[in-house]
Amino acid sequence: MPGPRLPKPCQDKARSHRGVGGEVHQTSGGDVPVLTTQQGTPVADDQNILRVGARGPALLEDGYFREKIFHFDHERIPERVVHARGFGAHGFFETYEPLTDITRADIFARKGERTPAFARFSTVLGNKGSADLARDVRGFAVKLYTQEGNWDIVGNNIPVFFIQDAIKFPDLIHAAKDEPDRGFPQAATAHDNFWDFVSLTPESTHMLMWAMSDRTIPRAPRFMEGFGVHTFRLVNAEGHSTFVKFHWKPKRGMQSVVWNEAVKLNGADPDFHRRDMWAAIQAGDYPEWELGLQLFDKAFAESFDFDVLDATKLIPEELVPIRRVGRLVLDRVVDNFFAETEQVAFMTQNIVPGVDFTNDPLLQGRNFSYLDTQLKRLGGPNFAQLPINAPKCPFAHFQQDGHMAFRNPKGRVNYEPNSRGGAAGGPRESPQRGFVTHPSEEAGEKLRARPELFADHYSQARQFYISQTKVEQGHIRDAFTFELGKVESADIRLRVIAHLLNVDAALAAAVAGKLGIAKLPVMAEPARAVRTNLLPSPALSILSNPPPDFGGRKVGALVTDGSDAALLKALRAALDAEGAMLELVAPTIAGIVASDGSRIRADHALVAGPSVLFDAVAILPSAEGVVLLAAMTEARDFVADAFAHCKFIAHGEAARALFEKAGVPAADDGVVAVRATADAAAFVARCRALRFWDREAALPLPAKISPGPAPPRVPRG
């Protein structure tokens, strides 16, 4: 198939520019380049800042003005504050069908066209040296190098956020990061500052349900969804606007780990996620997602139960189905981590003609903040000249000099307007091709306030919880218990329970019981009545949306000298046919001598290859080898952990002795006997379910807890 199509030159035959008074001046003839932003987006108007009405105030979202004045201000690079721990890869985005009916965006103009892309996945709170499997929101950022400039979709693996207005972002991150007096805990929210903040911020409740779910401990980035979070606009050539929410759907399906597994993975391999991405791409098992659009009009927005500009809310897929319009494929690892993954600069303000913002107050603030972030991190206004950030389409502007400038403009003219004609006069704005903001009507008083619908903080949190399976609900309960168990202040714990009572009484009682709270606090008073009639949304559950197969996963086989060579060969063949991998774990890294006398290389020594590294395991020692394994703590842990983490376990006859030593019963339907080569395919078919959740015993709810005193300082709205 053809590779990504590189952009064609951005040029118009005729050029004009408007003077300060709005008059139009024709330039003299010649092939004049189109004026663009640093990202390569054509500029429609270089004379006027975006404002509310002709005499109204300037708007924060004017990304072009912000870029222009930002660069001028700095004409004469540290670790990210958030998302420091990340890993990126190159690839392409392929459009399924033209979308010219809803957007003029060039990336959606032609069927089958491939656009170069770079994606970066990250945790939010930890520093660069933290571990991959911290319980944390995951960044999911994609840079698309389109023919009309760079378009950055800068989102997370969760479709909602903790706060509604960007003015609270510094407070949220200060509270969530390590506490300033002691510098810990690292990459964790299980501490007083975070829970104090969210317990006093009811709008965080919905996001807390997601954060305490398995979404924040994904098996790997290639098995998680991504979201644009905010409501955006798509605008077609006629100027018609359609609201849109962006979704990335993993082709391999969703998958997470369990908490005990995450804790052990962080010790066994703190680079587990980045290693997984690197290994998958190098093996040709390219991570892939489909881009989905939730499209809706103004009438729907006005009739929806919640405000579509509220970043703490989502639109259920059952209400507005997702239209899949293209695929993102990551097929090339970086050549240099620092030059690419570390220096890549994502900014929400980077959009292209055909895409536009809404008045989401969190998005508006992000548009302002990200440019300053790049200046701080990358040392000056010329970060857009770095190869990873530079557009791949032609670009032209009059911004010059500044710290570390390595693009050398030529010629005498460095201002606009000017009277020099043709190419000598430099680029000119293009009303025909340039970015034009959708002319939505804006009116109202200048004030600091939020819409009334923003005040419903619990209804969708409740909907998320009732949309989870019983297994997932148990994990949420346990996550709240763990996190609040690290909180020293009893008042903070009570305030959180008071909020949870608005979500689900049984959940609140279960968490309270596990924390030893004898009397439930009084329910936090909601600023807006909780809607209890919202139906479950199965799309919100990981386990309700299983993957199509076991492809992309990994089985670890514990083997010894004398292991059945034919059985190993059959298992490898069955996994190859499924698109999965087999890795051998042996007593030493030197490998084994199999039953047929062949020497087989080991992928892991047992001491460095615990079962948490694999999606399923096979215990296939010889009768002599199992005696050696039974005496090894690492072998007993290998089996015991796999069983405790509800993994499918294949085993030969000799393995029973190891099971007995590990205290593991080999009797449930997730433990599969593999004695003949034909059994291998049957085991792989069982693994398509990913986990044998029936093994996870349902934890009993605590005895009924009587209401107690109200928690201190639970605010309204």
Structure-token pair, residue 434: 């340039």
What whole-number distance in Å separates Cα of residue 575 and Cα of residue 583?
Answer: 11
**Would you tell me the crossing angle of helices 490-503 and 192-199 to the nearest 10 degrees?**
50
User: If you average pLDDT over every residue of the chain, what do you get?
Assistant: 90
Measured in degrees and rounded to the nearest 5, phi and psi for residue 481 equal -65, -45
What is the CB-side half-sphere exposure of residue 367 using CA atoms within 13 A?
23
> Does 261 share its domain with 282?
yes
Give me 198's structure tokens. 């969210």
Asked whether the predicted pLDDT for residue 1 surpasses 60, the reply is no
Q: Is residue 337 domain-shared with residue 359, that is, in the same domain?
A: yes
Same domain, 561 and 529: no
Q: Both tokens of residue 516?
A: 């030893």
Can you give the pLDDT at residue 700?
A: 40
pLDDT band of 596, cuts 50, 70, 90: very high
Q: Are residues 147 and 227 located together in one domain of the fold?
A: yes
**Residues 17-46 pLDDT 10s:** 333 333 333 344 468 888 888 888 888 887
Distance separating alpha carbons of residues 109 and 112, to the nearest angstrom? 10
Output the pLDDT for position 75.
58
Known catalytic membership, residue 174: no
- Cα of first residue to Cα of last residue in the chain, in angstroms, is 54
| Torsion angle of C-alpha atoms 414, 419, 422, 426, degrees rounded to 10 | 20
- Classify residue 699 by burial, with Cβ atoms within 10 Å: 0-12, 13-18, 19+: exposed
**Is residue 50 predicted with pLDDT exceeding 90?**
no
Same domain, 501 and 582: no
Residue after which a domain boundary falls, among 332, 357, 385: 385
Report the C-alpha gap between 399 and 514 in whole angstroms: 60
Neighbours of 11 (CB within 10 A): 16
Q: Does pTM top 0.85 for this prediction?
A: yes
Is residue 125 assigned to a domain? yes
The reply to whether 371 and 517 lie within a common domain is no
* Domain extent for 468: 456-543+699-707
Task: Identify whether residues 517 and 559 lie together within a single domain.
Answer: no
- Residue 190 domain-assigned (yes or no): no
Give the H or E element holding residue 179.
none
The residues, any chain, with a CB within 8 Å of residue 86's CB and separated by 6 or more, are: 80, 120, 121, 122, 123, 139, 341
Q: Residue 7: pLDDT above 50?
A: no
Report the b/e string of 264-282 with b at 16+ CB within 10 A: bbbebbbebbbebbeebbe
CATH number (domain holding residue 515): 1.20.1370.20
pLDDT for res 490: 97
Q: Of 71, 83, 191, 475, which is the active-site residue?
A: 83
**Residue of 440, 14, 12, 438 whose CA lies nearest to 237:** 438
Among 337, 357, 385, residue at a domain's last position: 385
Residue 108 lies in a domain: yes
Give the domain-ending residue among 361, 385, 409. 385
The domain tally of the chain equals 3
State pLDDT tens for residues 606-641.
Answer: 999 999 999 999 999 999 999 999 999 999 999 999
- How is residue 166 annotated by DSSP? G
Evaluate whether residue 431 is within a structural domain.
Answer: no
Same domain, 357 and 338: yes
Residue 374 counted as domain residue: yes
How many angstroms separate the CA atoms of 491 and 493, rounded?
Answer: 5
| Range with the poorest average pLDDT among 95-104, 155-164, 339-348, 367-376 | 367-376
Residue 716, domain member (yes or no): no
581 and 517 in a single domain? The answer is: no
Q: Taking a C-beta distance cutoff of 8 angstroms, is the pair 254, 598 a contact?
A: no
- Lowest mean pLDDT of 157-161, 382-386, 459-463, 646-650, name the range: 382-386
Residue 475 in any domain: the answer is yes
Active-site residue (options: 150, 156, 367, 382): 156
Which residues, in sequence order, are bridge partners of residue 372?
none
3-state secondary structure 399-429: CCCCCCCCCCCCCCCCCCCCCCCHHHHCCEC
Instruction: Give residue-wise pLDDT tens across range 662-681.
Output: 998 877 999 999 988 889 99
pLDDT tens, 206-221? 999 999 999 999 999 9
Report the CATH number that the domain containing residue 254 is assigned in CATH.
2.40.180.10
In this predicted structure, what is the pLDDT of residue 64?
Answer: 84
User: Is 150 marked active-site?
Assistant: no
User: Which residues, 6+ apart, have CB-to-CB distance to 685 below 8 Å?
Assistant: none
71 or 10: which leads in pLDDT: 71
Q: What angle do CA 193, 199, 201 make, to 5 degrees?
A: 105
Domain co-membership, 278 together with 129:
yes
**What is the structure's pLDDT at 65?**
77
Q: Please check whether residues 360 and 276 belong to one and the same domain.
A: yes
CA distance 284 to 109: 29
Number of H helices, E strands in the chain: 17, 22
Residue bearing tokens 């929210």:
189
pLDDT digits (tens, 9 = 90+) for 119-135: 999 999 999 999 999 99
pLDDT at 421: 86
> Per the domain annotation, does 16 fall within a domain?
no
Mean pLDDT confidence for 402-414? 86
Listed in sequence order, the residues at least 6 apart from 700 whose beta carbon sits closer than 8 Å to its beta carbon are none
Residues 6+ apart with CB under 8 A from 717: 202, 455, 457, 527, 528
* Same-domain status, 703 and 562: no
Q: What is the CATH number of the domain that holds 609?
A: 3.40.50.880
